[in-house]
C-alpha cells in the first residue's frame, strides 16, 4: 500500500476529514502510514516533563476526592455505614452486609472502594518521582502527594482488616506486596507524613494537613504524647477540604448523593443498634444538622427518611481541621487519668464549643466534669463523633475504643436486632474483609486478623 492509494480512498470523506488526511499524507512515508498510536490512554511515563508534572499531581488529587467523598460508596459513607452514623436502605447485599456488620469477601461495591483507594496510593507513588525529577523547585506540591499517600494508608488501616498488601507495577511487571499488619500500615502513614514535613515545605496548608494526618496515625498507634505534639501548631481555624461541582458525576458530593437524593441508597440514623449515638437530636445540634422528610429508601421499605443538611450537591467536605487537632490534644491530656486532667479536658471541650466553628455555637456542656476515667472517655469520644460527623472518622474511633481502651465490641458497635424493616441481628465484624480479588496476589492468603 502507498500514500497515493490512501489519498484516493479518502476523497469520498467529508471535507474536514480530507483536509486532516492530507496534512498527514504530506509528510508520510509509505511504511509509516498505518502505524497509528492510540492516544486515548496515557501512561505515567508520558507525563515525564516539566509540563506533565502538574497534571499528574492534579490527577492524584482528583482520585483522592473521588474515593473520599465523590462516590456514594466512598470512604465517608462506607466508614459511617460500618459504624453508627449511616445505614443502608439498599436491596444489594454489598451495602446491607456492611451496615449489619456481616462483611463479605466477595463484595463488588466495597471492591470498588478498595481499588479506588489503592489507585490514589499507587498514583502518588508513581507521580512523586516524576515531580522530584522535573519540578524539584516545588516541594509543596511534592509534599501534598506524600500527604495524600499517607491519608490513604490511614484509611486502609482504619477500614479494612489487618493484612493489606501494597503492590507496585512499572507498566511491564507487577511486584506483589506482602500483607501488612494494621500497625505496619499506620507506621507507613507516619513515614509519609514525616516526608511531607521536611523544612523545605513552607506552605502552611500542606504542613497543617500533614501534621494532622501524622497526629491521627499516632493516635491510632496509642502514641498520645507524640500525636499531641504533631498537631500543636495547627490553628483551630484551619480546614483541609475536598471541593465539589456539577461538572461531572465524579465531581459531585458523593455523601449527598448517597444520603439525600429522592430515593437514596443510604440514610443517616439515630441511636443505631442499642449503642449508637443520638446524632439526630431535636432541636438539631448545629454540628449535625438534619430535617425530617417523607423520602423512601431504594428498597422502598425504608420510609420517612431523615435528611442530613450538612452537605448539598456541591458542598465541600472536611478531611481534617483544627478542631480535630484540639481533640487530639485533649485525648492526650486525658491519658494522665487524674481529676485535674479530666477537668482540663472538660474545659477544653467547652472552649471548642464556644469557638464558633459551626457558625452556630453549641450550648456549653453542663458541669461538673466526669469523675471517672470511663465517663471522661465516653464524653470525649461523643464530642469527637459530633464534631466530625460524616467525615470518615467514626469507624476508626469505634475500633480504637475496643483496641486501645479495652471496651467490649458489643458495648461499642451497633448490636442486637436489626431495626425494621430489616430482619435478623447484627453480626460481630469490626472492619471490612480485604476483597477476594486481592487473592490474585500470590503473597496474600486472606486477612491476618479481624480484630479491631
Mean pLDDT of the chain: 91
- Enclosing H/E stretch for 124: helix 108-134
Total Cβ atoms within 10 A of residue 68: 25
Q: Are residues 146 and 212 in the same domain?
A: yes
Q: How far apart are CA 407 and CA 326, in angstroms?
A: 24
Least confident of 9-13, 336-340, 437-441: 9-13
Per-residue confidence (pLDDT) for residue 215, from 0 to 100? 98
Better-predicted residue by pLDDT, 359 or 15? 359
Better-predicted residue by pLDDT, 11 or 377? 377
Q: Are residues 56 and 15 in the same domain?
A: no
Give the pLDDT confidence of 266-279 residue by residue, as tens digits: 999 999 999 999 99
Residue matched to cell numbers 483496641 = 403
DSSP string for 409-439: GGGTS--SBPPTTS-SB----SSBPPPGGGG
Helices (DSSP H) in 163-303: which residue ranges? 182-196, 204-220, 224-231, 254-259
Give the pLDDT confidence of 172-188 residue by residue, as tens digits: 889 999 999 999 999 99
Q: Are residues 7 and 124 in the same domain?
A: no
Q: Are residues 61 and 96 in the same domain?
A: yes
| Residue 393 lies inside a defined structural domain of this protein | yes
Q: Are residues 21 and 55 in the same domain?
A: no
| Residue 38 lies inside a defined structural domain of this protein | no
- Work out the angle between the directed axes of helices 139-159 and 394-403 (0-180°, nearest 10): 60
| Residue 209 lies inside a defined structural domain of this protein | yes
Q: How far apart are CA 35 and CA 161, in angstroms?
A: 48
Q: Are residues 24 and 68 in the same domain?
A: no
Q: Are residues 60 and 4 in the same domain?
A: no
Per-residue confidence (pLDDT) for residue 386, from 0 to 100? 98
| Residue 284 lies inside a defined structural domain of this protein | no
Q: Are residues 337 and 435 in the same domain?
A: yes
- The average pLDDT across 341-349 equals 98
- The average pLDDT across 76-88 equals 98
Per-residue confidence (pLDDT) for residue 144, from 0 to 100? 98
- Enclosing H/E stretch for 29: none
* Chain centre to alpha carbon of residue 409: 23
| Residue 158 lies inside a defined structural domain of this protein | yes
Instruction: Assess contact for 277 and 385: CB atoms under 8 A.
Output: yes
- The average pLDDT across 145-151 equals 98
Q: Are residues 83 and 153 in the same domain?
A: yes
Can you give the CATH number for the domain in which 400 is found?
Answer: 1.25.40.390
Angle ∠(253,100,270) on CA atoms, nearest 5: 60
Q: Are residues 59 and 1 in the same domain?
A: no
Q: How far apart are CA 216 and CA 225, in angstroms?
A: 12
Instruction: Assess contact for 253 and 244: CB atoms under 8 A.
Output: yes
Task: Please write down the HEC assignment for all residues of 332-398.
Answer: HHHCCCCHHHHHHHHHHHHHHHCCCCCCCCCCCCCCCCCCCHHHHHHHHHHHHHHHCCCCCCHHHHH
| Residue 125 lies inside a defined structural domain of this protein | yes
Q: How far apart are CA 145 and CA 276, in angstroms?
A: 35
Per-residue confidence (pLDDT) for residue 42, from 0 to 100? 60
| Residue 83 lies inside a defined structural domain of this protein | yes
Q: Are residues 53 and 24 in the same domain?
A: no
Rounded to two decimals, the pTM is 0.90
Q: Are residues 5 and 115 in the same domain?
A: no
Give the pLDDT confidence of 91-117 residue by residue, as tens digits: 999 999 999 999 999 999 999 999 999
How many percent of the chain have pLDDT more than 70?
90
- The average pLDDT across 140-149 equals 98
Give the pLDDT confidence of 2-58 residue by residue, as tens digits: 333 222 233 333 333 333 333 333 344 444 444 555 555 567 677 889 999 999 999
> Whole domain around residue 18: which residue ranges?
1-32
> Total structural domains in the chain?
2
| Residue 229 lies inside a defined structural domain of this protein | yes
Per-residue confidence (pLDDT) for residue 171, from 0 to 100? 73
Amino acid at each position: 500500500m502507498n500514500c497515493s492509494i490512501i489519498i484516493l480512498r479518502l476523497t469520498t470523506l467529508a471535507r474536514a476529514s480530507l483536509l486532516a488526511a492530507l496534512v498527514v499524507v504530506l509528510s508520510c512515508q509509505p511504511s509509516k502510514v498505518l502505524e497509528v498510536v492510540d492516544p486515548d490512554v496515557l501512561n505515567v511515563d508520558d507525563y515525564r516533563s516539566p509540563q506533565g508534572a502538574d497534571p499528574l499531581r492534579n490527577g492524584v488529587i482528583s482520585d483522592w476526592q473521588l474515593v473520599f467523598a465523590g462516590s456514594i460508596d466512598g470512604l465517608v459513607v462506607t466508614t459511617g455505614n460500618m459504624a453508627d452514623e449511616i445505614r443502608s436502605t439498599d436491596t444489594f447485599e454489598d451495602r446491607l452486609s456492611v451496615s449489619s456488620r456481616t462483611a463479605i469477601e466477595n463484595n463488588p461495591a466495597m471492591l470498588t472502594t478498595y481499588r479506588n483507594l489503592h489507585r490514589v496510593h499507587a498514583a502518588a507513588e508513581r507521580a512523586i518521582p516524576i515531580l522530584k525529577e522535573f519540578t524539584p523547585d516545588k516541594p509543596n506540591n511534592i509534599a501534598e502527594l506524600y500527604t495524600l499517600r499517607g491519608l490513604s494508608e490511614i484509611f486502609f488501616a482504619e477500614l479494612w482488616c489487618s493484612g493489606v498488601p501494597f503492590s507496585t507495577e512499572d507498566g511491564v511487571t507487577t511486584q506483589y506486596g506482602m500483607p501488612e499488619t494494621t500497625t505496619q500500615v499506620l507506621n507507613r502513614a507516619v513515614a509519609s507524613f514525616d516526608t511531607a514535613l521536611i523544612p523545605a515545605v513552607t506552605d502552611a496548608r500542606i504542613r497543617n494537613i500533614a501534621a494532622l494526618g501524622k497526629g491521627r496515625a499516632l493516635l491510632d498507634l496509642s502514641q498520645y504524647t507524640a500525636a499531641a505534639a504533631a498537631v500543636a501548631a495547627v490553628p483551630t481555624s484551619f480546614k483541609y477540604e475536598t471541593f465539589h461541582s456539577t461538572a461531572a458525576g465524579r465531581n459531585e458530593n458523593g455523601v449527598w448523593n448517597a444520603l439525600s437524593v429522592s430515593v437514596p441508597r443510604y440514610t443517616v440514623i439515630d441511636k443505631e443498634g442499642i449503642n449508637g449515638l443520638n446524632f439526630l437530636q431535636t432541636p438539631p445540634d448545629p454540628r449535625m444538622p438534619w430535617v425530617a422528610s417523607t423520602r423512601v429508601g431504594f428498597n422502598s421499605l425504608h420510609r420517612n427518611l431523615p435528611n442530613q443538611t450538612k452537605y448539598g450537591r456541591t458542598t465541600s467536605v472536611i478531611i481534617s481541621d483544627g478542631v480535630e487537632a484540639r481533640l487530639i490534644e485533649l485525648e492526650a491530656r486525658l491519658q494522665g487519668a487524674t481529676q485535674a486532667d479530666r477537668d482540663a479536658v472538660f474545659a477544653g471541650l467547652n472552649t471548642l464549643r464556644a469557638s464558633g466553628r459551626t457558625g452556630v455555637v453549641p450550648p456549653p456542656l453542663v458541669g461538673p466534669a466526669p469523675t471517672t476515667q470511663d465517663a471522661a472517655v465516653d464524653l470525649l469520644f461523643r464530642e469527637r463523633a459530633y464534631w466530625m460527623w460524616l467525615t470518615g472518622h467514626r469507624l476508626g474511633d469505634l475500633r480504637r475504643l475496643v483496641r486501645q481502651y479495652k471496651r467490649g465490641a458489643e458495648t461499642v458497635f451497633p448490636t442486637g436486632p436489626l431495626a425494621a424493616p430489616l430482619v435478623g441481628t447484627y453480626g460481630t465484624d469490626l472492619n471490612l474483609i480485604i476483597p477476594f480479588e486481592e487473592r490474585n496476589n500470590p503473597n496474600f492468603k486472606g486477612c491476618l486478623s479481624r480484630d479491631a
